[in-house]
Structure 1
Amino acid sequence: MRTKDELFRAAQREVAGYRQQAVMQAETPRRAAYAAHPALAEADAAHMRAGLGLAKAAALGSSMDAARAALARADETLAAAVKEAGYDESAFKPAYRCPLCGDTGMRGGIPCRCVADVARRLRREEINAASPLGLCQFSSFEVERYGTNVEPELGISPREYMGKLLNYCKNYAARFSANSPNLLFMGHSGLGKTHLALAIADAVLEGGHDVLYTSAAALAAQLGKEHFDYTNNEEWLAACQEADLLILDDLGTEYITPLTISVLYELINTRMLTHRPTIYTTNIIDQNIFVARYTEKVASRMLGGCKMFKFFGEDQRLK
């Protein structure tokens, strides 16, 4: 799991690789054409000399009018030679993936949107590899699978309730910001908690925000490894602290130690103070068990700082 900066650098490297690949692919037909048409090769060499002459004049502070005129003539000569050889003027230009920045990753002095697109794809791949379901969508959440009998605790059927919860989650994702509330999804296994959390993650990620997913068990294991291995550079805690949205799945499955409690407190407290929303899922539905497991200090921040939703119905995995 990478931090925002690490992910951005990885995206920049990938875009730079696209540019290098495009240049290399354009070089092969160019060399073949120049070998077959010596006049074309000479015109290109003259164009390069004229460009260097302009750069030299600029560096020395000399008059650049003559150098600019020489480069303009070289442009015309090269264009004529390309046409004479029977090629289109764009025949030897690299085919860049991004027409906005030419695969440089920068446009107008700021990162191009193609870098953000690559970063988003890399994060999707990361989440898909870490989550049991991969990124889910709201469209694949089937409310019809829930029962129609009235649930006494709700006063309505699970199907009606889950339909309302689905709409809430859609609105949450559409309006996501630093001011969005933390969410706690609780309920027995197989009721769609992880599915809805990942559907929110998918929509929020598509909206341009950075999203991280981890199971509580994986987070606890990784943080324990980092605590005792000072050569580990993955920095999961830093990545979890700074993500725009963190999905912390399956609370209650992790191995609890004093270190786990300490790190959870630091993570939750930091995200609350910096206004970075978190979505928790858990099979624990008894708040007393929650407090006994995580201590009152940690539990109060999770339970008191979240909008809580209890899931009802029958295990959808069995269905």
Structure 2
Amino acid sequence: MRTKDELFRAAQREVAAYRQQAVIRAETARRAAYAAHPALAEADSAHMRAGLGLAKAAALGGNMDSARAALARADDALAAAAKEAGYDENAFKPAYRCPLCEDTGMRGGVPCTCVAEAARRLRREEINAASPLGLCKFDSFEVERYSDKVEPELGISPRAYMGKLLNFCRNYAAKFSQNSPNLLFMGHTGLGKTHLALAVADAVLDSGHDVLYTSAAALAAQLGREHFDYSGGDEWLAACQEADLLILDDLGTEYITPLTISVLYELINTRMLTHRPTIYTTNITDQNVFVARYTEKVASRMLGGCKMFKFFGVDQRLQ
């Protein structure tokens, strides 16, 4: 899991590689054409000599008008030779992926949009490797699979309730900002908690924000390894702390140690202080169990700082 800076640098390297590949392809095509058409190669050499002549005249105070005229004639001769050989004027120019920055990654002194797009794609691939992100969209969340019988605790049917929750999540993603609230999805296995959390992640990624996904078990295991690896820093923790949106999935499945509690407290507290929203999912539905597992200090920050939604119904995976 990479931090924003690491991801941005990886995107820049990718864009730079595109530019290098485009230049190499163009040069390979040019050399092949010149080998097949000697007249074209000679016209190119003459054009290069004319260009050097203009540079020399400018540097040494020569006849600039004469040098410019010679370069203009060489331009015309090269264009004529290329046309005669069956090539247009763009035949040997690099075909860049991004026409805005020509794969330099910069435009007007600021990073080009192609770098941001590459970073989002890399992050999406990273999330997909750890979750079914590609399958979890708002449009694929089927409220019809939930019961239409009234749930006493709700006063309405799970189907109606999940329809309202789906609309809430759509609006949450559409209006996402650092002022968005934290969310806690509670409920038994297979009720759609992870699906909705990842659907939010997918939409928030598309809007240009950085999103991280991790299961609680994977996070705890990785942070434990980093804690005892004194040669490096806590990259996962740093990445989780600074993400615009963090999805922390399946709380309650991780192995609890004093280190886990300490790191969770640091993570939750840092994200709350820096106004970076988090979406938690958990199979734990009893708040007393939550407090007993995570301590009152951690649980109070998590439960007190979230909009909580309890999921109802039967395991959708068995439907």
The TM-score, its normalising length taken from structure 1, stands at: 0.93
Deviation sequence 1:152-174 (CA, Å, 0-9, x none): 11000000000000000000000
Task: Tell me the equivalent position of 1:106.
Answer: 106
Secondary structure of 1:317's counterpart equals helix
Task: Tell me the equivalent position of 1:306.
Answer: 306
Deviation sequence 1:178-212 (CA, Å, 0-9, x none): 11000000011100000000000000000010000
Q: What's the offset of the Cα at 1:61?
A: 9.8
Q: Which amino acid aligns with 1:195?
A: H
Residues 36 and 188 (structure 1 numbering): CA distance in 2 closer, same or farther, change over 3 Å? same
Q: Are residues 1:171 and 2:171 paired?
A: yes
Task: Tell me the equivalent position of 1:87.
Answer: 87
Residues 198 and 57 (structure 1 numbering): CA distance in 2 closer, same or farther, change over 3 Å? farther
Instruction: Write the distance in 2 (CA, Å) between the matches of 1:5 and 1:30.
Output: 38
Q: What's the offset of the Cα at 1:33?
A: 1.5
Task: Tell me the equivalent position of 2:269.
Answer: 269
Q: What's the offset of the Cα at 1:239?
A: 0.4
Q: What's the offset of the Cα at 1:114?
A: 1.2
Gaps of 5+ in 2: none
Instruction: Write the distance in 1 (CA, Å) between the matches of 2:200 and 2:240.
Output: 17
Task: Tell me the equivalent position of 1:318.
Answer: 318
Q: What's the offset of the Cα at 1:42?
A: 2.7
Instruction: Write the distance in 1 (CA, Å) between the matches of 2:219 and 2:107.
Output: 37
Task: Tell me the equivalent position of 1:193.
Answer: 193
Q: Are residues 1:230 and 2:224 paired?
A: no
Matches within 5 A, 1:1-319: 1-51=1-51, 71-132=71-132, 134=134, 136-232=136-232, 235-319=235-319
CA contact (8 A) 2:57 2:64 kept: no
Give the number of equivalent residue pairs.
Answer: 318
Gaps of 5+ in 1: none
Moved more, 214-223 or 75-84: 75-84
Question: What CA RMSD, in Å, does the superposition of the two structures yield over aligned residues?
Answer: 2.2
Residues 52 and 235 (structure 1 numbering): CA distance in 2 closer, same or farther, change over 3 Å? farther
Instruction: Write the distance in 1 (CA, Å) between the matches of 2:309 and 2:198.
Output: 15
Percent identity over the alignment is 86
Residues 133 and 88 (structure 1 numbering): CA distance in 2 closer, same or farther, change over 3 Å? closer
Secondary structure of 1:248's counterpart equals strand
CA contact (8 A) 1:124 1:135 kept: no
The TM-score, its normalising length taken from structure 2, stands at: 0.93
Q: Which amino acid aligns with 2:179?
A: N
Instruction: Write the distance in 1 (CA, Å) between the matches of 2:188 and 2:164.
Output: 19
Residues 234 and 292 (structure 1 numbering): CA distance in 2 closer, same or farther, change over 3 Å? closer
